[in-house]
Amino acid sequence: MNALPKLTAAAVSPAVCLALAACAVGPDYKKPEANLAPFHNAAKVVARDTSQPTTPLDQWWTGFNDPMVVTVVQRALGQNLDLAAALARVRQARAAASGAGAALAPTVDFDAAATYEHQSLRGPFGSIASTAPGFTRDIHEYSLGPVASWEIDLFGGLRRGATAAQDEAQAAEAERAGTRVTVAADAADAYLQVRSYQARLSVAQNQVDIDNHLLMLVHDRYHAGAATGREIAQAEALLKQARATLQPLHIGLEQQLNRLDVLMGAQPGTFAREVGASGAIPRVPPISVGDQPTDMLRRRPDIIAAERQLAASNERIGAALSDYYPKISIAGALGFDSLGTDHLFSSSASRAIGGGALRWRLFDFGKVDAAVAEARGANAEQLARYRQTVLKAAEDVENALMALTETETHVLELQGEVNALVHSRDLSEQAYKAGSITLTDVLDADRQLLRARDELESNQADAARAAVGVFRALGGGWSGPAQSAAVRAEPGRLHSLTSQLK
């Protein structure tokens, strides 16, 4: 009964020493440097009025001071199906990492077998043994006991593979964080477009009322002999033109309400009544742009995911290189083997088996060379993808900052234009009533005012949407920097982001 432990200890002890003393083959991973200059459009955002305190980047949607924005974003984060799929991918990646790590440990199975055999008297064994005293053609054999095997990771191939799987699991978690950022931004964007269409519908309906009033005025002047039938036709055409702007706005509003429902994981029409109640377009919240590009590199999930994929591809090179070296494994079995059940658990029926094996590829016609070249090529590809991701992230930030500042400036100019056109239109109507100008002048002022007011409402919503774009570009929507620092400090350990993503 004590033979197997002694045998196993004798075989394992030197192997463990060798494994502990060995170094994993392949390049050690070094995170690439990403030297980015400060954002050149940040100064324009800094110049904005920031008298109010800024909102934490991981909860940026609360900065709009609109309870419905908070409701739709939180509902989307809790129910969105893309996020549910991303969580499932994280679980798959974690399971793969756990399985890769388990390959480093011994495998222990319990085997039990019962065999019955009726010997042939004409076979090689039966033809000889049949003449022996006590021979029987019926043989019953019973065996049971544990069987252990262990591949000693002498050159680090398994360790490299396990580390690569952990890096890929971290990348999956970062990708889930990226999905969270996207879902929060898309939900806020859809909501802001809902408010935009509602405001534009209100402007269009108000214009319809004004044009209807103008038509009545022309009719009154016509009956008084001060207007012509042509002027009535012109006023009717203007009224119909204003009414024709309503249908496209209703279509756009319905599309954004349906989009918002899907983002919240619901059938279109579920929350239309709740969200569809008219409300004002939220004001642009204060935005802190004190972050440097290095802060963006630590926060943006797509950059974190690209860096983790790069680390994984580096480990895959070591795993491929390990196939140049011998593979050593040991195995052992302990248990009982008997031709009958009467003495199955006796000391005479006990057995112990131990052994080792060495496998070394000497001639494989370049298979290992091809695998190593493939791994190095994948690593070069991931490095290029990482650098491209960093540049695209910087581009997103610069574009978002520019869009915000320029849209806000455009809104101020449009507001001044609307104020002037309102005054001009009122004066035109008064002059028309007095008979000093023609109806054409009033119609032109009316059309210009409708266009300017519609453009103003649209751009006010665009400014708020541009603020969402800034938050998205900076990686806002999850508590990233602390987690990213932890990942960089311990790249070989699997970290869970789940608690921070909920």
Among residues 318, 310, 312, which one has the least CA distance to residue 372? 318
Q: Is the pLDDT of residue 22 over 90?
A: no
- For residue 371, give both structure tokens: 């695998």
What's the pLDDT at 472? 92
Q: Is the pLDDT of residue 27 over 80?
A: yes
C-alpha span between 401 and 393 (Å, rounded): 12
Q: What is the DSSP string of 417-443?
A: HHHHHHHHHHHHHHHHHHTSS-HHHHH
Q: What is the mean pLDDT of residues 8-31?
A: 59
What's the pLDDT at 62? 92
The larger pLDDT score, comparing residue 364 to residue 203, is at 203
Q: What is the mean pLDDT of residues 260-280?
A: 88
Q: What is the pLDDT of residues 81-99, one digit of tens each?
A: 999 999 999 999 999 999 8
Four-residue CA torsion sign, 33, 38, 40, 42: positive
Q: What is the mean pLDDT of residues 130-135?
A: 77
Q: 325: which DSSP letter?
A: S
What's the pLDDT at 51? 63
Long-range contacts at 212-216 (CB < 8 A, ≥ 24 apart): 212/239, 214/238, 214/239, 214/429, 214/442, 214/446, 215/239
Instruction: Please name the residue that has the structure tokens 């070989």.
Output: 492
Number of helices followed by number of strands (H, E) in the chain: 15, 4
Residue 20's pLDDT band (cuts 50, 70, 90): very low
Instruction: Please name the residue that has the structure tokens 């960093």.
Output: 390
370: helix, strand or coil = helix
User: Could you tell me if 141 and 119 are in contact, meaning their C-beta atoms sit under 8 angstroms apart?
Assistant: no
What's the pLDDT at 433? 82
The larger pLDDT score, comparing residue 438 to residue 428, is at 428
459 Rama class: left (phi>0) / alpha (psi -120 to 50) / beta:
alpha
What's the pLDDT at 41? 78
Among residues 394, 408, 399, which one has the least CA distance to residue 475? 394
What's the pLDDT at 173? 94
Q: What is the mean pLDDT of the chain?
A: 83
Burial class for 28, CB neighbours closer than 10 Å (0-12, 13-18, 19+): exposed
115: helix, strand or coil = strand
Q: 270: which DSSP letter?
A: S
Q: What is the mean pLDDT of residues 98-103?
A: 87
Q: What is the mean pLDDT of residues 149-154?
A: 84
- For residue 173, give both structure tokens: 């978690």
2: helix, strand or coil = coil
C-alpha span between 397 and 48 (Å, rounded): 17
Q: Is the pLDDT of residue 484 over 50?
A: no
Helix H or strand E encompassing 412: helix 367-434
Distances (CA, A) of 304 to 57, 76, 232: 17, 23, 66
C-alpha span between 405 and 393 (Å, rounded): 19
Q: Is the pLDDT of residue 117 over 80?
A: yes
Alpha helices in 103-226 (DSSP H): 124-129, 157-223
Residue 48's pLDDT band (cuts 50, 70, 90): low
Long-range contacts at 270-278 (CB < 8 A, ≥ 24 apart): 271/72, 271/75, 275/68, 275/72, 275/191, 275/194, 276/194, 276/198, 278/198, 278/202
Q: What is the pLDDT of residues 182-225, one digit of tens each?
A: 999 999 999 999 999 999 999 899 889 888 888 898 888 888 88
Among residues 199, 197, 218, which one has the least CA distance to residue 446? 218
- For residue 112, give both structure tokens: 């039990």
Lowest mean pLDDT among 152-156, 343-347, 407-411, 447-451: 343-347
Four-residue CA torsion sign, 425, 427, 430, 431: negative
The larger pLDDT score, comparing residue 286 to residue 44, is at 286
C-alpha span between 141 and 340 (Å, rounded): 6
Strand 107-118 relative to strand 327-338: parallel, antiparallel, unpaired? Answer: unpaired
Alpha helices in 109-156 (DSSP H): 124-129
What's the pLDDT at 18? 46
- For residue 386, give both structure tokens: 């990482």
What's the pLDDT at 47? 64
Q: 333: which DSSP letter?
A: E
C-alpha span between 17 and 475 (Å, rounded): 47
Q: What is the mean pLDDT of residues 154-166?
A: 90
Among residues 360, 368, 365, 382, which one has the least CA distance to residue 318? 368
What's the pLDDT at 483? 46
Residue 480's pLDDT band (cuts 50, 70, 90): low
Lowest mean pLDDT among 248-252, 349-353, 369-373, 379-383: 349-353
- For residue 1, give both structure tokens: 């009964």
User: Could you tell me if 299 and 60 are in contact, meaning their C-beta atoms sit under 8 angstroms apart?
Assistant: no
CA angle, residues 318, 310, 477, in degrees to nearest 5: 145
What's the pLDDT at 86? 93
Q: What is the CA radius of gyration of the chain?
A: 38
The larger pLDDT score, comparing residue 5 to residue 356, is at 356
By percentage, how much of the chain surpasses pLDDT 90? Answer: 39
Determine if the pTM surpasses 0.85: no
Backbone angles phi and psi of 215, in degrees to 5: -60, -40
What's the pLDDT at 290? 59
